[in-house]
Amino acid sequence: MRAAAISTPRLDKMPGMLLSANPKELKATDHSLPDDKTQKKRPKTFGMDVKAYLRSMIPHLESGMKPSKSKDLLSADEVKQWSESLEKLLANQTGQDVFGNFLKSEFSEENIEFWLACEDYKKTKSDLLHCKAEKIYKAFVQSDAAKQINIDFRTRESTAKKIKAPTPTSFDEAQKIIYTLMEKDSYPRFLKSNIYLNLLNDLQANSLK
């Protein structure tokens, strides 16, 4: 008798998910800026089957095998460290994606997108700063931006002046405000969310097998 094939859901076709089915591909995540005319789209629902996601992303959860020591696999300890600080969460590529997915459910994904764009901007070569600064400003900072971030008028005006003669620190003030907003507001709720707790609990349970 032929064994029935187990169909593993493809993560890239799951609605609302940012994570790659292949952890090695996470470093290739595209944080490109939206076109000026792009309108902010909201997900219709945030329903997700965490177990199905875990089976797609971490093979040993479905097979019952103990976690490999491979760095390519997400560990319970790694996920638990995300609760220590927002800094540790954002320092992890998978953490960025999971947190970004949570922010989508709260309709505030522009915050992490802006923060990531700023991190990328700081690494930009001097001759490309002006072009990239303009894109970030139009996408997130100007008053009619498609993904306008929540900063005060003074910071918005100050940033507009700084990008006229851009330096790697032109967005630092605005980035700090958004980081603090995520740290004080979204991050505590993320740690209590089902997406985080289910991920952590499933990984911890699997590590005991």
pLDDT per position as a tens digit, 142-160: 999 999 999 999 999 999 9
Q: Is residue 11 part of a domain?
A: no
Residue 146 covered by a domain? yes
pLDDT band at 79 (very low <50, low <70, confident <90, very high): very high
User: Any residues with CB less than 8 A from the CB of 14 and at least 6 apart, and which?
Assistant: 48, 52, 53, 56
Q: Is residue 93 part of a domain?
A: no
DSSP string covering 127-181: GGHHHHHHHHIIIIISTT-TT-----HHHHHHHHHHTTS--TTTTHHHHHHHHHH
Residue 206: band (very low, low, confident or very high) from pLDDT cuts 50, 70, 90: confident
**Cβ atoms of residues 58 and 199 within 8 Å:** no
pLDDT score of 174 more than 80: yes
Asked if residue 49 belongs to a domain, the reply is: no
pLDDT value, residue 33 = 61
pLDDT band at 190 (very low <50, low <70, confident <90, very high): very high
pLDDT reading at 71 higher than 80? no
In-domain check, residue 124 = yes
pLDDT of residue 114: 98
CATH number of the CATH domain containing 122: 1.10.167.10
The answer on pLDDT for 204 being more than 50 is yes
* pLDDT band for position 17 (cuts 50, 70, 90): very low
The yes-or-no verdict on residue 56 having pLDDT over 70 is no
- pLDDT per position as a tens digit, 89-147: 999 999 999 999 999 999 999 999 999 999 999 999 999 999 999 999 999 999 999 99
Residue 117 forms part of a structural domain: yes
33 located within any domain: no
Total domains present in the chain: 1
Residues spanned by the domain of 175 = 110-184
69 within 8 A of 75, measured Cβ to Cβ = no
Specify if 66 maps to a domain. Answer: no
